[in-house]
Amino acid sequence: MDSASILQHPRRNLGSRHRSQADRFVKLARKDPERKDENLAWAEQNAQQAVLHDFTDERNWRCLAEIKHMREDGEGLSLVLEDLFVVLGRDPNQLGQLKGVDHMEVGLELLEAAFLTDSLEPEVWFDKLDAESLDNFASRCKGLDFTDQRANIIYGRRLERIRSAGHEDMFIELVHHLLAHRPANHELWMELGRLHERREEIDQAWLCYDHVQQIRPTEPVRDLFLSRLKGAMDGEKAVPWSGPSLETRADFLSRMQNLSHTVSVVPVVEEEVTEDEDEPINLELKRLQDLIEAGEAAEAFFMARSLFTSGESWAEEWMLKAQSML
């Protein structure tokens, strides 16, 4: 059940509608033992649709898990839990809980324990935090896998809640981990760009808007930002600003590449020198080829764009290829 590739944003109304249908079929299954299996099958189908349409509502996950339990489908319950932990960022400690356990016995308890620790509702989640747990979250956040689009949305909402509580510096630091894993999240890039612009951090704002315009050329947010800057400078003697330095851009792209590398499983190939070779191996090209082949589009994109920005024109082809995979 991979809703990440199907939905970009949760649709609560559809999720609630399918969950209500699932509840009706569960009631019918309890009233009519002869048609129990048939009604539970329909209930499960609707519960799956509920999670598909709105993975942010704990009630949908709970509904599906309970139906799996009623159908004595331990393997299916295990898959539900695994999918939930993916949405929660693929914490290795959580995934380890799924191995070697009787899911019919403890599966529902694991589900509730996950919600107790990591509520999908950002307000509920934030209200349970104190200063120490907030710092622990920040540390843990740096090691999680946010390549799943649903995890990106869940943690994006949590970080937005942190930002709204006044922790802007923490938001800026942690949001780069989400964006490094899913560079195509243009809305989060825009939010970060607006924050930098409000803080008058011009270089960083430009980098965010420039990234959005790179992946969505029809949205000239970088050009509009430059227009706003020009308008603000009218009547002043200041030299018009046209963009950050090449060094600043390269440093930004290198940092994003390093962050995206934290979840990459593609090993770095060391150059082997042999006497028969007429030309040395282009390790950067080889690395890009390996990343693309392995589906590591985020790291390939930032690496290729960094090379292209630094004057390596051959990297543009690989940048566009990686961008098409985001």
Interatomic CA distance for residues 262 and 52, integer angstroms:
28
Confidence check: pLDDT of 2 > 60: no
Highest mean pLDDT among 79-93, 161-175, 296-310: 161-175
Mean per-residue pLDDT of the chain = 86
Q: Is pLDDT above 50 for 3?
A: no
- 45 close to 26: Cβ distance less than 8 angstroms: no
- Cβ contact 41:62 at 8 Å: no
Average pLDDT over residues 277-298: 84
Tokens found for residue 65: 């898990």
Average pLDDT on 156-183 reads 94
For the segment 245-274, what is each residue's pLDDT rounded down to a tens digit? 888 988 999 889 888 876 555 655 544 544
Res 114 pLDDT > 70: yes
In this prediction, residue 273 carries a pLDDT of 43
Which residues in 121-143 are b (16+ Cβ under 10 Å) and which e?
Answer: bbeebbeebeeeeeeebeeebee
Contacts of 315 (CB under 8 A, 6+ apart): 284, 288, 304, 305, 307, 308
- Token pair of 67, please? 């139906």
User: Is the model's pLDDT at 1 over the cut of 90?
Assistant: no
Residue 293 to residue 259: CA distance in whole angstroms:
20
Q: In the prediction, which pLDDT does 270 show?
A: 47
Q: Return the pLDDT at 242.
A: 67
pLDDT of amino acid 102: 87
Q: Above 70 in pLDDT, residue 209?
A: yes
For the chain, the structural domain boundaries read: 12-120, 137-233, 250-266+280-323
The identity of residue 157, as a single letter, is: R
Tokens encoding 28: 């019918």
CA distance 29 to 21: 12
Report pLDDT digits (tens) over 48-106.
999 999 999 999 999 999 999 999 999 999 999 999 988 988 765 666 667 778 889 99
pLDDT > 50? residue 7? no
pLDDT at 125 over 90: yes
Residue type, 192: L
Reference 301, options 252, 249, 260, 250; nearest CA is 260
Round to whole Å and give the CA distance between 33 and 189. Answer: 53
Residue 172: what residue type?
I
* Superfamily (CATH H level) for 137-233: Tetratricopeptide repeat domain (1.25.40.10)
Return the minimum-mean-pLDDT range out of 28-37, 169-178, 209-218, 232-241: 232-241
pLDDT value at residue 5: 42
pLDDT at 278: 57
Q: From residue 326, give the alpha-carbon distance in Å to each of 82, 171, 283.
A: 24, 23, 23
Average pLDDT over residues 107-122: 92
**What mean pLDDT comes out for the span 193-199?**
94
CB 306 within 8 A of CB 250: yes
Q: What is the average pLDDT across 225-233?
A: 79
Q: Is the pLDDT of residue 275 over 90?
A: no
More confident call, 266 vs 184: 184
